[in-house]
Amino acid sequence: MKSSPSTPTHPLALLAIDGLLTDEEREIRATVRAAADRELRPHVAGWFEKGEVPARELARTLGGLGVLGMHLEGYGCAGTNAVAYGLACMELEAVDSGLRSLVSVQGSLAMYAIWKHGSEEQKRHWLPKMAAGEYIGCFGLTEPDAGSDPGAMRTNAKRDGSDWVLNGTKMWITNGSVADVAVVWARTEDGVRGFLVPAGTPGFSAPEIKMKLSLRASVTAELVLENVRLPADAMLPGARGLSGPLGCLNEARFGIVFGALGAARDCLESAISYARDRTVFARSLASYQLTQQKLADMSVELGKGMLLALHLGRLKDAGELTPEQVSVGKLNNVREAIAIARECRTILGANGITLEYPVLRHANNLESVLTYEGTSEVHSLVIGKALTGEQAFR
Ligand SMILES: Cc1cc2nc3c(=O)[nH]c(=O)nc-3n(C[C@H](O)[C@H](O)[C@H](O)COP(=O)(O)OP(=O)(O)OC[C@H]3O[C@@H](n4cnc5c(N)ncnc54)[C@H](O)[C@@H]3O)c2cc1C
């Protein structure tokens, strides 16, 4: 005789992970989740379908919520710990990776570059308004012929008197065409340096990249620099060499370690709810062993990914997190998130391919997340180098 169904346990409650968070971390998470569900989730499928987001309005909403540069100290930033920032990324990416991308690029790439490497004047000028979402920032490192290997960049900055003159093209730049300021990395006689390029500077344009099948609720653009003349104080004084941009990327990758799990969690919640409601062969889809095997495997991976993210967050808060550890987190959590999204899609059958449900949207978005901030192959090579002492990049 079959027993009657008991109350279902949420996949993340299986491992009682919430008990590892502080009250403050749980509160921040609840605030971001409630705001994301109220203000973003109802619109996101429409933005994705149109391939358009009201970026300026979104930035103000996110600034009001306090998530832009939230882990930075001073200059209007909230100064939370890294775990709280990770949890906020998770809640935003549970809605859409594009929204988390806006926040990551603004806070962990553009704002962090200025906060870490900028002059006092640059910080005072840009950071408070960026934290409030009044100014949007972007981060231009990738070029058409230099992605995984940013050392191959061609964009250059040459001295002309005390000015700098920049030439080159950046590609795949999140927030590019809506940004008020672009952090542009360029080759100089003195190695790679970062420059703050305000929108509207003569010779600078940012055409949007269209026809994307992934991250459609996010602005992606090219940055074109044709004899862009900047004053001497446009350069970030504290960053010299590729370690400048690579350090910023490490910050953003940390957010992805948590964020990707938000997309996975949302897929799993959808799949469980769908499987419980859907009748196939006269029984609930959730009651079949094959379905339960899928749900169990996915929940195990989600829980393990969450424990890994939390561990890395605690290391970051203790000032001990290494780039190799961030690579472990990014590689594992994005790889598992995309596998979960695809598996959930199967549970939803034909309904899974529509925008009525979030699963294929998340799966498609995670294709970009797998590629940006270091591809999965590049993170494997980083870990391989740590394990063997041999670098296999080139
Ligand atoms: C939606 C989106 C938003 C983005 N936003 C930004 C942004 O805001 N700012 C920014 O600067 N960039 C951004 N990027 C760019 C992103 O960081 C790059 O796409 C990424 O670094 C990979 O570079 P690539 O696309 O040129 O691929 P490539 O570097 O050409 O790689 C192609 C393939 O080769 C593999 N590969 C590379 N090196 C090796 C190796 N040594 N051994 C074996 N395989 C290797 C890669 O893993 C990949 O599978 C964005 C990308 C996307 C899709």
pLDDT of residue 384: 98
Q: How many domains does the chain have?
A: 3
164 lines ligand 1 (CB under 6 A): no
For residues 100 and 151, membership in a common domain is answered with no
Question: Does some domain include residue 3?
Answer: no
Any domain includes 146: yes
Active site residues: 373
Q: CA 157, CA 304: separation in Å to the nearest integer? A: 45
pLDDT at site 313: 98
Residues 289 and 379 in one domain: yes
- Domain identity same for 270 and 381: yes
| CA distance linking residue 187 with residue 84, whole number of Å | 36
Please check whether residue 114 is in contact with residue 127, taking contact to mean a CB–CB distance below 8 angstroms: yes
Tell the residue nearest (CA) to atom 6 of ligand 1: 173
**Looking at residue 62, which CATH number applies to its domain?**
1.10.540.10
User: What is the distance in A from the centroid of ligand 1 to the CA of 327?
Assistant: 15
Do 201 and 315 share a domain, yes or no? no
Does 184 lie in the same domain as 66?
no
Check which CATH number belongs to the domain holding 147 and give it: 2.40.110.10
Shared-domain flag, residues 279 and 358: yes
Only one residue has tokens 């993210």, namely 309
**pTM, two decimal places:** 0.97
Tell me if 167 CB under 6 Å of ligand 1: no
Q: Are residues 165 and 115 in the same domain?
A: no
Residue 366 belongs to domain with CATH number: 1.20.140.10
User: Which tokens belong to 93?
Assistant: 């990416």
Q: 89 and 33 in one domain?
A: yes
Say if residue 110 is in the same domain as residue 164: no
Q: Does residue 2 sit within a domain?
A: no
Q: Give the span between the Cα atoms of 379 and 375, in whole angstroms.
A: 6
User: Looking at the structure, do residues 110 and 47 belong to the same domain, yes or no?
Assistant: yes
380 lines ligand 1 (CB under 6 A): no
Asked if residue 263 and residue 367 are part of one domain, the reply reads yes
Based on the domain organization, do 162 and 217 belong to the same domain?
yes
Helix spans in the chain (H): 23-35, 41-50, 55-65, 82-95, 97-103, 112-117, 120-132, 243-277, 289-317, 323-347, 359-371, 376-388
* DSSP at 146: B
Tens digit of pLDDT at every position of the chain (394 positions): 455 678 899 999 999 999 999 999 999 999 999 999 999 999 999 999 999 999 999 999 999 999 999 999 999 999 999 999 999 999 999 999 999 999 999 999 999 999 999 999 999 999 999 999 999 999 999 999 999 999 999 999 999 999 999 999 999 999 999 999 999 999 999 999 999 999 999 999 999 999 999 999 999 999 999 999 999 999 999 999 999 999 999 999 999 999 999 999 999 999 999 999 999 999 999 999 999 999 999 999 999 999 999 999 999 999 999 999 999 999 999 999 999 999 999 999 999 999 999 999 999 999 999 999 999 999 999 999 999 999 999 8
Whether 50 is in a domain gets the answer: yes
Q: What is the pLDDT of residue 1?
A: 46
Query: Which residues constitute the domain of residue 141?
Result: 137-234
* Cα radius of gyration (the chain): 21
| Whole-angstrom distance, CA of residue 253 vs CA of residue 373 | 6
Q: What is the residue type of 211? A: M
Last residue of a domain, one of 131, 165, 190: 131
Residue 295 lies in a domain: yes
